[in-house]
A = this chain, B = another copy of it.
Amino acid sequence: MNQRNTFQRTLTLDAVHALANHPTADDVYNFVHTKYPQISRTTVYRNLNKLCDSGDLLRVKIFGAADRFDHNLQSHYHFRCDECGSVSDLDLPYIENINQMCAGIGGRIVNAHQILFDGICTECQKK
C-alpha cells in the first residue's frame, strides 16, 4: 500500500486547479479551509509536497517569497511583478541546450534551470 486517496488530498489538488494562477500554499489553505474548515495547514503543505513528488503539480520557487504551485506541468519561465507580487507564465521558448552549456564549463551535473523575470505587470502600469 503506497499512497492513499484522501479527500483532503483531492481538495488540495482541486484548489490549485480552481485558483489557477500560481497560488501559494497559504492561498490553497485558505481556499480549502472555506470548504472544509477542520483541515490542518500542515496537511495542505504536506499534500502539496506529495502532489509535486507524484508529478501532479509543479512547484515554482520564487526568490524571497513563498513557493507557488502550478497546474501547468510543461517547463516554462515566470514573471513576477515587483509591485503586486503576482506571478504569470511566460510564453517564451524554453532554452533546451542551456543545461548542457552549463555542464560543459565545469564538470557539474546539471539537472534543471529556472528563469525568473521581474518588473511591472500590465495591471500595475495602469495605476
Using a CB–CB cutoff of 8 Å, the interface residues on chain A facing chain B are 61-64, 67, 77, 79, 82, 88, 90-92, 98-99, 101-103, 105-122, 125
Q: Which residues of chain B come closer than 8 Å to A116, judged between CB atoms?
A: 113-114
Shortest distance from the beta carbon of A80 to any chain B beta carbon, whole Å: 10
Q: Which residues of chain B come closer than 8 Å to A92, judged between CB atoms?
A: 98, 101-102, 105
Can you pick out 30 interface pairs between chain A and chain B where the beta carbons lie within 8 Å of each other?
Answer: A61-B63, A61-B64, A62-B63, A64-B67, A77-B102, A79-B102, A79-B110, A88-B106, A90-B105, A90-B106, A91-B106, A92-B98, A92-B105, A98-B115, A99-B117, A102-B117, A107-B125, A108-B119, A108-B120, A108-B121, A109-B119, A109-B125, A110-B117, A110-B118, A111-B120, A112-B118, A112-B119, A113-B116, A113-B118, A114-B115
Q: Which residues of chain B come closer than 8 Å to A88, judged between CB atoms?
A: 106
Residue in A79, A91, A108, A114 with the greatest tally of chain B CB atoms within 10 Å: A108
Q: Which residues of chain B come closer than 8 Å to A106, judged between CB atoms?
A: 88, 90-91, 122
Give the CA-CA distance A94 to B124 in the complex, in Å.
28
